[in-house]
Amino acid sequence: MTLLAAEDIVSGYGKVEILHEVSVHVKEEEMVSIIGPNGSGKSTLMKTIFGMVEAWEGRVDLLEESITGVPPHKVVRKGICYVPQERNVFPSLTVEENLDMGAFIRKDDYSGELERVYEIFPALLEKKKQTVGNLSGGQQQMVAMGAAMMLSPRILLLDEPTAGLAPNLAKMILNKIKEINDTGVAILIVEQNAKEALKLSSRGYVLAMGKNKFTGNSNDLLENAEVEKLYLGG
């Protein structure tokens, strides 16, 4: 069943149109990658889905219910969490305090979610009393994703989660994302490590100049000569 569907999205900033009728969809428990060159509109698409950027045309549906124009603070209550590329943690707070902040709208017992986060990211359990600003970039990214998981989302929107990380750390973070996906959380990921992201995903979208350029299952995209040459570093 389709969990999230963005159809014919047109959006941008000010009077500048960035997305030109872009469409993506994600099934329940699926992991889908969005790849493409810098400036292709990938982050704008994520922000439009999450309600941070207005959709000028098109619509966004969650389980066939329109969430077009719904503000972010209401979108999270519907089961969508967004982890931006930058400023995604509270550096002056501890790991544990950051995770508690992730559950800020919950009034129930979320100890089960906290335990699940520590199971996926055992390094965070070891450092739960440390200030996040003193952690490595990879560990800070774990904190950001862990905080998003505290709301038990149906789907995580991840914008460049491995940006600025060394290759070995980037691969580790991507594997952790797949581990989250394997728990039943759907993933829509914008990722610069396109080849590695596609290997872990079931499907992918290639954006170029604000438009859908290629769409298909991951194996087909990985084996497409044009995609390989232009977008995968082939």
Give the separation between CA 176 and CA 163, rounded to whole angstroms.
Answer: 15
CA distance 147 to 87: 13
Do residues 157 and 81 make contact, with C-beta atoms less than 8 angstroms apart? yes
Nearest CA among 61, 44, 42 for reference residue 213: 42
Q: Which two tokens stand for residue 74?
A: 């209401």
Reported as a pLDDT band with limits 50, 70 and 90, residue 107 is confident
- Host H or E run for residue 39: none
Over 90: is that where the pLDDT of 234 sits?
no
Give tens-digit pLDDT for 65-84. Answer: 999 999 999 999 999 999 99
Closest CA to 43 of 160, 174, 153: 160
- The amino acid present at 187, given as its one-letter code, is I
Q: How confident is the model at residue 105 (pLDDT cuts 50, 70, 90)?
A: confident
Domains and CATH numbers, the chain: 2-86+153-231 (3.40.50.300)
pLDDT value at residue 177: 97
Q: Name the DSSP letter for residue 82.
A: E
The average confidence (pLDDT) of the chain is 95
**Alpha carbons 156 and 22: distance in angstroms, whole number:** 19
Q: For the residues 34-50, what does the mean pLDDT come to?
A: 96
